[in-house]
Amino acid sequence: MSSSLMTDFLRQSGGAAVIDGGLATELERHGADLNDPLWSAKYTLTTWKLATIQGFEAKGFSREESETMLRRSVEIAREARDMYFERCSKSSCDSVTDDRILKHRPILVAASVGSYGAYLADGSEYSGNYGDAITVETLKDFHRRRVQVLVESAPDLIAFETIPNKIEAQAYAELLEEENIKIPAWFSFNSKDGVNVVSGDSLLECASIAESCKRVTAKPILIYPNSGEFYDADRKEWVQNTGVSDEDFVSYVSKWCEVGASLVGGCCRTTPNTIKGIYRTLSNRSSVLSLR
């Protein structure tokens, strides 16, 4: 990730910032059936991580329509940010509108690129087991056009998310160089033990691939775990009551920041309450640090 972009962003955010949470969880809570290869992208264009050209085409959309939907996903997010900033300006920044406090805060739009396993929707996103037939070239071919389309849509950065194995990290790093992508990027890895990614590959080795890429720097560290629940790939659903509560999840935020994390959020099965708790913790932490 560009050092200057993130340095400025974190400085404006008070030293730490919030990453968004698990949208799919809220969709399910409102009755959405996500047992579908597109997952939450079945219902919303803004779920980039799960939206792929191949996935849209499998649903009967043309290549042109699929690429248009990807572009529109970035445009919607940028428009939402502009609308928020405009409302902040009209309400003289920090004031109450519709019983809510509108505070002008820095916001970055990250175009998410999910793993090949997320497209397969067979649980391999959580195992990293793609089989011997899948190579770096296979993965580059799969991701290339999606990355190109998202970059053309001008997000602030590209987020390569829930990377489950070393081979996919290598594919992303090579894509960034081959396509000469100027937009900053981050790599996030899917790990169960903090030592290895879910495939068993060393997390340190995976991180070294990201660090070797000119578009990525090891300076900002981000963390956004899921709730700890177990995903049953055969039933294609999360096993209830195997994770932690919002309160327990948020209790780790300060510890993560103490060991170097500067961007914190939640992934699968986290809720708006999780994100609110993270925001409150980071805000309180920023206030305490500013007094020292």
Two tokens, residue 59:
């649903």
* pLDDT at residue 44, as a whole number: 54
Tell me how far apart the 2 most distant CA atoms of the chain are, in Å: 58
* pLDDT at residue 83, as a whole number: 93
Averaged over successive runs of 10 residues, the pLDDT of the chain (292 residues) comes to: 76 89 72 63 54 90 94 92 88 54 84 92 90 97 97 94 96 96 91 93 93 69 86 73 79 93 90 90 69 35
Q: What is the pTM of this model?
A: 0.84
CATH topology of domain 3-220: TIM Barrel (3.20.20)
* pLDDT at residue 49, as a whole number: 59
Q: Where are the domains of the chain?
A: 3-220
Identify the CA nearest to 139 among candidates 165, 112, 100.
Answer: 165
HSE at residue 32, side-chain half, CA atoms within 13 A, is 17
